[in-house]
Amino acid sequence: MKSDQCMQVQFWGVRGTIPAPGPKTVRYGGNTTCVSIRFDDNKILILDAGTGIRELGKELLKDDEEIFLLLTHYHWDHIQGFPVFGPIYQPGRRVHLLPGMNRSTVFGLLAQMDGIHYPVTPEDLLSDTEFIASGSLDYLRKHGIYVERIETNHPGGSSGYRIERGGRVVVFLTDNELDPPGERTTEYDAFVEFSRDADLLIHDAQYLPEDMPVKWGWGHSVIDHVRELARAANVKHVALTHHDPDRTDDALDRIQADSDAWFADNAPQITCSVAYEGLIFDLPASCGSNFLVAEQEVLLVQGEGLAVV
Q: Which residues bind Zn ion (CB under 5 A)?
A: 16, 75, 77, 175
Pick 78 or 162: Cβ nearer Zn ion: 78
Q: How far apart are CA 158 and CA 180, in angstroms?
A: 14
CB of 6 to Zn ion, least distance (A): 28
Pick 16 or 30: Cβ nearer Zn ion: 16
C-beta separation of 145 from 163 below 8 A = yes
Dmax of the chain from CA atoms?
55
Q: How far apart are CA 157 and CA 212, in angstroms?
A: 21
Pick 75 or 225: Cβ nearer Zn ion: 75
Pick 160 or 284: Cβ nearer Zn ion: 160
CB of 291 to Zn ion, least distance (A): 35
CA distance readout (Å), 66 to 30, 41, 44, 63: 27, 9, 6, 9
CB of 49 to Zn ion, least distance (A): 12
C-beta separation of 180 from 135 below 8 A = no
DSSP code of residue 307 = E
CB of 243 to Zn ion, least distance (A): 11
Q: Is 183 exposed, middle or buried (0-12, 13-18, 19+ CB in 10 A)?
A: exposed
DSSP code of residue 105 = -
Pick 75 or 237: Cβ nearer Zn ion: 75
Closest residue to Zn ion: CB criterion: 75
CB of 16 to Zn ion, least distance (A): 5
